[in-house]
Structure 1
Amino acid sequence: MEWEGDQKELKAAGAELLTGGRRGLRIYGWEIESRKCSILNSANRQQWEERLQTSHLPEMIFGENSLILKHVATGTKIHFNAFDALVGWKQEALPPVEVPAAAKWKFRNKPSQQLVLDYDYTFTTPYCGSETVEINSQHERGTLNKSSCSLQWEDCKEKIDLVALALREPILFYDEIVLYEDELADSGIALLTVKVRVMPSGWFLLLRFWLRVDGMLMRLRDTRLHCAFLEHGKSVILRESCWRETSFQSLSSKGLPIDSAAYNDPSIISERLPVILQRTQKLNISDTM
């Protein structure tokens, strides 16, 4: 669901909407753009299988969907897309979750063959975003060549102030983008989404991988980024990663319900899932980078 602030709010914040059919806005030296398209067609899906060297992909891949946040003066670019997330899935290569129903699952495109569970069919990914710094260099003939380098994140003890973010402030732009989804043969859900919210004081986003394997396992991997707009063209970005996971058996031992219908909304039940990994990093950006 996309939301754009009214013209008075945008003007008061020094922001302007992107033009040329692009969805997003410019504010404080940042260009923030969301893109939404339909799911991959069969031809593009086959290309992805070849590039990722796999015959297994999520049911619904929104291959052209993305969220792009670019600090124009420095070329700093943070973006989110399904392909890079699936690269992370392939590299992590978790063992498959064993479920009784899995023995009866079939290949979706080859119903006559039994599904052999030798891969992570939950499409769990450690992905926390893609990034680059685009550097323009001038050639003798006057053309621009773009080279890139990685961003330098530093571990820190600071935390995103979620209480402050909950305070009333005009929302200049909001959107939620689905990157991929799979219903695990009607035995749960695997869903990767990214949400962004832009305010006069900064932008905030949540990249969330949510997994529920009915009767077996729940897994939540959240990455939150908050960018505070400071004076003199400076921005500070905090990135928090928090992974949570538990089994339905563990929930049952604590007297909690094990009915899958009780766990449809990860935002509501996240505190019931134990934290297995947590990390905070900081990135300083200024026009003089």
Structure 2
Amino acid sequence: MEVEVDEKELKEAGAELLTGRRRGLRIHGWEIESRKCSILNSSSLQEWEERLQTSHLPEMVFGESSLTLKHINSGIKIHFNAFDALAGWKQEGLPPVEVPAAEKWKFRSKPSQQVILDYDYTFTTPYRGSEMIEIDKEKDGSSEISEGSSKLHWEDCREQINVAALALKEPILFYDEVILYEDELADNGVSLLSVKVRVMPSCWFLLLRFWLRVDGVLMRLRDTRVHCAFDKSKDPIILQECCWREATFQALSAKGYPVDSVAYGDPSIISQRLPVIMHKVQKLKVPGNLRL
């Protein structure tokens, strides 16, 4: 999806595109930037394996790709990257999904070894994004960046992301989709982690999605939506909605749905068929010493 930005619309919204090779824009105190790079090479993959203490990584890891949203005045920084997502996969350590085709997956081991899938080869992650407080400080005439080690504080709330407002027709000032990692499960499905961002004059909205389909066995969808509405009269409200869905092909068949994997190519279309196993909405609580 390519979005042509109208200079007049940018100006009316009080936004400006980032300069140079940077892809993104500044709007209402936020700097939003996406980076899309090639997959990691073999030496980088080896380094990642050592750091993550694993000998398994997805087929395609876009290690330098990222999406970053930073509020300049407060230093609030929300960003998305493959390493932190895979660290979440490693920490969660789900048991491997049993599949009939597992015995054929010899590409997972050296020829001299027996194929034993004793790890979560789907790379399912509970990752909802990375965050920190990053404040630029002027020191001796130069800019020094200090990064807070503590995470942002999210509180459970009853508020909901205004989906109706998102459906309103207004200019899209910036849009991008960044793939963080992908694996085709030896042609037996798909495991994909990506993040999409959309910036309009009234707000920014993003969707971090982990999508898993193990053909004939299981489908899993883990969505994290984050929304920030711009309001000049008060601090903006940043809401985060997490929704996990999951179902076996057997359970879907019992409800009368097709079992052919061809019918499940688009997670957005079939998400409503998958039962919700976890859902919560949280609001970002901004510390008193920080101002949005």
**TM-score with structure 1 length normalisation?**
0.95
- Structure 2 CA distance, aligned partners of 1:34 and 1:242? 24
* Matched residue, 2:114: 114
Query: Deviations 1:137-193 (Å, cap 9, x if unpaired)?
Result: 566897735130321111101111112101101000000010000000110000000
- Structure 1 CA distance, aligned partners of 2:140 and 2:26? 32
- Structure 2 CA distance, aligned partners of 1:145 and 1:270? 41
Over 3 Å counting, the alpha-carbon distance change for 1:258 and 1:145 in structure 2 is: closer
Instruction: Map 1:160-239 to 2 at 5 A.
Output: 160-232=161-233, 234-239=235-240
Residue type at the aligned position of 1:128? R
- Structure 1 CA distance, aligned partners of 2:252 and 2:143? 61
Q: Secondary structure at the match of 1:43?
A: helix
The answer on whether the counterparts of 2:191 and 2:210 sit within 8 Å (CA) in structure 1 is yes
The answer on whether the counterparts of 2:134 and 2:145 sit within 8 Å (CA) in structure 1 is no
Counting matched residue pairs gives: 289
The answer on whether the counterparts of 1:234 and 1:284 sit within 8 Å (CA) in structure 2 is no
- CA displacement at 1:234 relative to structure 2: 2.3
- Structure 1 CA distance, aligned partners of 2:137 and 2:234? 22
Instruction: Map 1:39-188 to 2 at 5 A.
Output: 39-108=39-108, 110-136=110-136, 144=144, 146-148=146-148, 149-188=150-189
- Structure 2 CA distance, aligned partners of 1:17 and 1:161? 26
The answer on whether the counterparts of 2:109 and 2:115 sit within 8 Å (CA) in structure 1 is no
Residue type at the aligned position of 2:104? K
Over 3 Å counting, the alpha-carbon distance change for 1:142 and 1:175 in structure 2 is: closer
The answer on whether the counterparts of 1:104 and 1:114 sit within 8 Å (CA) in structure 2 is no
Over 3 Å counting, the alpha-carbon distance change for 1:217 and 1:140 in structure 2 is: same
Residue type at the aligned position of 2:7? Q
Q: Secondary structure at the match of 2:20?
A: coil
Residue type at the aligned position of 1:191? L
* Matched residue, 1:6: 6
- CA displacement at 1:105 relative to structure 2: 1.2
**TM-score with structure 2 length normalisation?**
0.94
- CA displacement at 1:248 relative to structure 2: 0.4
Residue type at the aligned position of 1:129? G
The answer on whether the counterparts of 2:249 and 2:259 sit within 8 Å (CA) in structure 1 is yes
Over 3 Å counting, the alpha-carbon distance change for 1:16 and 1:276 in structure 2 is: same
Unaligned runs of 5+ in 1: none
- Structure 2 CA distance, aligned partners of 1:37 and 1:142? 30
- Structure 1 CA distance, aligned partners of 2:183 and 2:275? 24
Over 3 Å counting, the alpha-carbon distance change for 1:169 and 1:123 in structure 2 is: same
The answer on whether the counterparts of 1:172 and 1:198 sit within 8 Å (CA) in structure 2 is yes
Unaligned runs of 5+ in 2: none
Over 3 Å counting, the alpha-carbon distance change for 1:101 and 1:181 in structure 2 is: same
- Structure 1 CA distance, aligned partners of 2:259 and 2:46? 38
Over 3 Å counting, the alpha-carbon distance change for 1:59 and 1:255 in structure 2 is: same
- Structure 1 CA distance, aligned partners of 2:252 and 2:145? 55
Query: Deviations 1:79-122 (Å, cap 9, x if unpaired)?
Result: 00000000000000000000111022114462343321110000
Residue type at the aligned position of 2:167? A
The answer on whether the counterparts of 1:4 and 1:174 sit within 8 Å (CA) in structure 2 is no
